[in-house]
């Protein structure tokens, strides 16, 4: 799994831009925060904790520290967190997410991958008087292109 992730790491943002973005939030710039945000910014899709951990196998960061880094990036609006249909959180760089702010996620039932679709979710229903909508999430489940191709080969 780590191999495909490393191919995405050549990202949209330079390390100095990532560092500046972290510094601008007022939190301490650490190698872990920089590396994780570089990965999220360059990934072609939201990544799970396991995906990120595998991609950072060469960096000494334990599981708890990685969760803390991710929580810090989310709390400072540098990353976004979405949950898939299995309850697994996936993370993406906030700048990546801004390119298609309101969209649908596709969750592959075979590989567990989550993919952003450039399609707007349906309009939410009219809420009863006094209700306030917080957020709408729309997830599709099925088989991704890669897994479907592997199934056809069998």
How many residues does this entry show for the chain? 154
Percent of the chain exceeding pLDDT 90 equals 40
Per-residue pLDDT, 127: 92
Per-residue pLDDT, 14: 81
Task: Kindly state the average pLDDT of the residues 76-81.
Answer: 89
Query: What's the rounded Cα separation, in Å, for the pair 6 and 82?
Result: 22
Per-residue pLDDT, 3: 32
Report the number of distinct structural domains present in the chain: 1
Task: Kindly state the average pLDDT of the residues 115-132.
Answer: 85
Q: Which domain holds residue 98?
A: 2-153
Task: Kindly state the average pLDDT of the residues 88-99.
Answer: 73
Q: Which of 8-12, 29-33, 115-119 has the lowest mean pLDDT?
A: 8-12
Which CATH number goes with the domain that contains 44? 1.10.10.10
pLDDT digits (tens, 9 = 90+) for 38-50: 999 888 788 999 9
pTM greater than the 0.95 cutoff: no
Task: Report whether 115 contacts 106 (CB < 8 A).
Answer: yes
The shares of helix, strand and coil residues in the chain, as percent rounded to the nearest 5, are 40, 15, 40
Q: What is the chain's mean pLDDT, rounded? A: 82
Please name which of 108, 67, 121, 58 lies closest in space to residue 91, comparing C-alpha atoms: 67
CA distance to 87, 103, 104, per residue, from 6 (Å): 25, 25, 25
Task: Report whether 69 contacts 27 (CB < 8 A).
Answer: no
User: pLDDT-based confidence at 101, cuts 50/70/90?
Assistant: low
Per-residue pLDDT, 22: 93
């Amino acid at each position: 799994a780590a191999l495909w992730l490393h191919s995405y790491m050549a990202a949209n943002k330079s390390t100095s831009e990532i560092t500046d973005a972290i510094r601008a939030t007022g939190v301490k710039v650490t190698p872990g925060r920089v590396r994780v945000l570089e990965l999220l910014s360059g990934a072609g899709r939201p990544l799970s904790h396991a995906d990120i951990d595998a991609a950072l196998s060469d960096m000494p960061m334990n599981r708890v520290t990685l969760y803390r880094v991710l929580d810090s990036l989310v709390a400072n609006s540098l990353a976004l967190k979405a949950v898939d249909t299995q309850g697994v959180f996936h993370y993406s760089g906030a700048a990546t997410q801004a390119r298609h702010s309101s969209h649908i996620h596709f969750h592959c039932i075979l590989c567990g991958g989550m993919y952003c679709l450039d399609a707007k979710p349906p309009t939410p229903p009219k809420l009863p008087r006094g209700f306030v909508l917080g957020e709408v999430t729309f997830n599709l489940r099925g088989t991704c292109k890669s897994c479907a191709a592997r199934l056809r080969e069998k």
